[in-house]
């Protein structure tokens, strides 16, 4: 029933590992996003996809690679995890023409 769902909710992993976070939305939205919330609670966009095509890539390291198999899914793969990648990652979706964004419940990533 959840509109935007992310998995996993928590992820603890060692430096150097590769991990993925999955996101799915059932709202029929055509645009999906990844946002990062740092330790000071600041939220910043990382990527945006519209109908499976990348439209925003905000100076994110190449270790981060989003993949959108269809417009209802946007996954985030992170290679060679670093301590500084520890944060909460939020997936969101919207219609490109507006009407508001809906956020998932977040994935808390801790790199040790």
Partner 1 sequence: GIQVEQSPPDLILQEGANSTLRCNFSDSVNNLQWFHQNPWGQLINLFYIPSGTKQNGRLSATTVATERYSLLYISSSQTTDSGVYFCAVESGANSKLTFGKGITLSVRP
List contacts with partner 1 (CB under 8 A): 31, 33, 35, 40-45, 48, 50, 55-56, 58, 88, 90, 92, 94, 96, 98-103, 105-106, 108
Structure tokens at 73: 């899914």
| Residue placing its CB nearer to partner 1 in the complex, 42 or 70 | 42
| Residue placing its CB nearer to partner 1 in the complex, 28 or 98 | 98
| Residue placing its CB nearer to partner 1 in the complex, 14 or 40 | 40
On the question of a cis peptide bond just before residue 8, with omega within 30 degrees of 0, the verdict is yes
Q: Which neighbouring-strand residues pair with 66? A: 76
Give Cα separations from 109 to 1, 13, 25, 26, 51 (angstroms): 24, 8, 21, 24, 27
Q: How far is the CB of 42 from partner 1 (least distance, A)?
A: 6
């Amino acid at each position: 029933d959840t509109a935007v769902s992310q998995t996993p909710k928590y992820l603890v992993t060692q430096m150097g590992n590769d991990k993925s976070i999955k996101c799915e939305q059932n709202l029929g939205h055509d645009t999906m996003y990844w946002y990062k919330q740092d330790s000071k609670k600041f939220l910043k966009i990382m990527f945006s996809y519209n109908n499976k095509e990348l439209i925003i890539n905000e100076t994110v390291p190449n270790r981060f690679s989003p993949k959108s198999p269809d417009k209802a899914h946007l996954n985030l793969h992170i290679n060679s995890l670093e301590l500084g990648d520890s944060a909460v990652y939020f997936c969101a979706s919207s219609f490109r023409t507006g009407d508001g964004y809906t956020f998932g419940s977040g994935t808390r990533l801790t790199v040790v």
